Structure 1
Amino acid sequence: MSGTETGHVGAVDTVGFLGLGAMGLPMAVNLARAGFDVLAWNRGRPPLEAAAAAGCRTAAGPEQVAAAAPVVLTMLPDLPQVIELLDGQGGLRSGRPVMDTLVVMGTVSPVAVHALAERLLPQGITVVDAPVSGGVTGAREAGLSIMAGGPVEAVARVRPYLEAMGSTVRRMGDTGAGSLAKACNQLVVAGTLVALAEAVLLGERGGLDPTALLDVLAGGLASSEVLTQKRRHLAEGDFTPSGPARYLHKDLGFVLDSADDEGVTLPLSTTVAGLYAAIEAQGLGDLDNSVVLGLLRDGSPHSPDRPTKD
């Protein structure tokens, strides 16, 4: 497949992909490697060039993608960015789109993506929310866990694309259910990260070597994928980002919003969300989400807007 820039392409098997970030780029590449005709777009030029070199075709803008691809996948930070590319000048709904299915793969609000689906359905566009878990490693290795929400037929239609990027693909319910499952996932990830950070802090204050402690934890019941991927960050105190803390802060907001919507009290989520709010408030949001260890070491565990009781 050519990596040249194109406009209208008539191939019915063309799939669009918008958002070639740290996870989106390897996801699009895996689609191309699986034999799909991937038409990709990204605001920045270097990721587009990397996608072209790996077998994707590239488009001049979202309008060209929607004019060629009945199914368009987005891997963007949040729903406002998706809506901007939908409704903005030169966006997905400009011109003469053939797009009839939009797959939102970023982590977004379950309530908001359901509302978007209701708005677009009368216009002939079905929305599937299909957030992913597994980090950059999972994206590169096509080993993501993908939680899909949408009509049965729509999820079945896009399943071949999802299976090219993930090792676990599960329909969770109607549109919004995938994002609710991802909120649950982020709750567990954030809670585990905070538990690991507290374990390292407690251990080192008692004279334990963090590396040795994490090795022991990894060999027992406390082992987890979070520990596997974050062991080096926590052991070395190196918070160079692989997953920025600000994204987890955003995601925990969705957890609390969903809890409010369902009338559920989540004490752990409230505490963990407060920690990540404090990270953001201190300007540490661009560091790795394991920077919660640094926050605890500095003795600043509480968010300014979630004070502890006297």
Structure 2
Amino acid sequence: MSKIGFIGLGIMGRPMAGHLLDAGHQIVSVEHGKPIPQELADKGATVAANPKAVAEQAEVIITMVPDTPDVELVLFGEGGVIEGLKPGTLVIDMSSIAPIATQDFAKRIHDAGGEYVDAPVSGGEGGAINAALTIMVGATAEGFERALPILEVMGKTITHIGDHGAGQTCKVANQIVVALTIEAVAEGLLFASKAGADVAKVRESLLGGLAQSKILDVHGERMIKRTFDPGFKIKLHQKDLNLALEGARSLKLSLPGTANAQQLFQACAAHGGDDWDHAGILRALEQLADHEIGS
């Protein structure tokens, strides 16, 4: 069992750290202005003053924070991980951040004597709670081999995509597909509702055909029940689509569907929906249609 520094105990990180504790690992974290969750403290998780102090105690560091600047601050800012990094420490970033920055972070950790793995996840809060995350890994072969037993505690589908940054590239692709599929589900249910059909029965029927998807199942139900408390916040999906669109510009690639989904998320944000679940994209479409599904 390992002593793991886990930095980022939010919606996703909290259950992920809980699974590691249940598996017998030790967890040390930082407070980020508020105490660590009581359920983790009850299982033995401890607190260090800053990421440097976490690194001084841990054999493995996991970061699960919102964006690229957050990872950079935790790893390389004042009192950051790199100041306390011991030779051979495994650093696993499970955040969703920019692939090019990830390659730079990996080099800096390697130059300081550590091993870096980018391992972003998909599956949302439910996947984190059920230890059923899909984990996309960018690493050396040695880094992947070292990280795999830890990742297996938190996820079910774990794929070594390639070298550093490849995991993050895969996650950006995932977020493109997820955003466009959520939009497609919202448009389909909105069309059915506006035409006078029972949207619950429409969804039930579609789940038995070629349109079946986990998003139709999970987010379609959210839309019908209008439960937009976040499993994954719109503002975080906006961040991921920004990464996609910035990458597309550098690749001279057109992603028109992605750009359209980003504009719909922006419409939600303009109406105070930054913290809605990303299924809330439906609300932007409803405003355009002057119709609420089920009404």
TM-score by length of 2: 0.91
Q: Map 1:18-97 to 2 at 5 A.
A: 18-95=7-84, 97=86
**Residue 89 of structure 2: aligned partner:** 100
**Residue 193 of structure 2: aligned partner:** 204
Q: 1:139 to 1:95 in 2, by over 3 A?
A: closer
Instruction: Note if contact 2:87-2:112 (Cα within 8 Å) is conserved in structure 1.
Output: no
Counting aligned pairs with the same residue, the percent is: 37
Distance (whole Å) between structure 1 residues aligned to residue 2 and residue 82 of structure 2: 19
User: How many correspondences in the alignment?
Assistant: 290
Instruction: Note if contact 1:139-1:165 (Cα within 8 Å) is conserved in structure 2.
Output: yes
After TM superposition, give the deviation of residue 262 of structure 1 in Å.
2.9
What are the superposed Cα offsets for residues 112-166 of structure 1, whole Å, 9 maximum, x if unpaired? 1112222332222332110000111110111000001011111111111101100
Check if 1:268 corresponds to 2:260: no
**Equivalent of residue 216 in structure 1, options 158, 181, 205:** 205
Distance (whole Å) between structure 2 residues aligned to residue 92 and residue 99 of structure 1: 13
**Residue 279 of structure 1: aligned partner:** 268
**Residue 105 of structure 2: aligned partner:** 116
**Residue 181 of structure 2: aligned partner:** 192
Distance (whole Å) between structure 1 residues aligned to residue 132 and residue 143 of structure 2: 22
The list of structure 1 runs, each at least 4 consecutive aligned residues, that deviate by more than 6 angstroms after superposition, is none
Segments of structure 2 that go 5 or more residues without pairing to the other structure are: 291-295
After TM superposition, give the deviation of residue 232 of structure 1 in Å.
2.8
**Residue 156 of structure 2: aligned partner:** 167
After TM superposition, give the deviation of residue 46 of structure 1 in Å.
4.3
After TM superposition, give the deviation of residue 107 of structure 1 in Å.
0.8
Distance (whole Å) between structure 2 residues aligned to residue 73 and residue 216 of structure 1: 42
**Residue 229 of structure 2: aligned partner:** 240
Check if 1:130 corresponds to 2:114: no
Distance (whole Å) between structure 1 residues aligned to residue 85 and residue 259 of structure 2: 46
Q: Which deviates further from its counterpart, 283-292 or 161-170?
A: 283-292
After TM superposition, give the deviation of residue 99 of structure 1 in Å.
6.6
After TM superposition, give the deviation of residue 239 of structure 1 in Å.
1.9
Q: 1:177 to 1:214 in 2, by over 3 A?
A: same
Segments of structure 1 that go 5 or more residues without pairing to the other structure are: 1-11, 302-310
Check if 1:296 corresponds to 2:282: no
Q: Which deviates further from its counterpart, 205-214 or 140-149?
A: 205-214
Distance (whole Å) between structure 1 residues aligned to residue 162 and residue 45 of structure 2: 31
**Equivalent of residue 170 in structure 2, options 181, 197, 211:** 181
Distance (whole Å) between structure 2 residues aligned to residue 163 and residue 61 of structure 1: 27
What are the superposed Cα offsets for residues 250-288 of structure 1, whole Å, 9 maximum, x if unpaired? 111111222223333222222222222332334311111
Instruction: Note if contact 1:71-1:99 (Cα within 8 Å) is conserved in structure 2.
Output: no
Distance (whole Å) between structure 2 residues aligned to residue 212 and residue 47 of structure 1: 43
**Residue 293 of structure 2: aligned partner:** none
Distance (whole Å) between structure 1 residues aligned to residue 159 and residue 64 of structure 2: 18
Q: Which deviates further from its counterpart, 224-233 or 28-37?
A: 224-233
After TM superposition, give the deviation of residue 167 of structure 1 in Å.
0.4
Distance (whole Å) between structure 2 residues aligned to residue 300 and residue 250 of structure 1: 26
Q: 1:163 to 1:264 in 2, by over 3 A?
A: same
Instruction: Note if contact 2:186-2:220 (Cα within 8 Å) is conserved in structure 1.
Output: no
Instruction: Note if contact 2:120-2:136 (Cα within 8 Å) is conserved in structure 1.
Output: yes
RMSD: 2.1
**Equivalent of residue 134 in structure 2, options 145, 148, 157:** 145
In structure 2, the residue corresponding to 1:39 is in which secondary structure? Answer: strand
Instruction: Note if contact 1:203-1:213 (Cα within 8 Å) is conserved in structure 2.
Output: yes
Distance (whole Å) between structure 2 residues aligned to residue 189 and residue 114 of structure 1: 24
TM-score by length of 1: 0.87
**Residue 2 of structure 2: aligned partner:** 13
Distance (whole Å) between structure 2 residues aligned to residue 273 and residue 34 of structure 1: 39
Q: 1:207 to 1:154 in 2, by over 3 A?
A: same
Distance (whole Å) between structure 2 residues aligned to residue 66 and residue 171 of structure 1: 25
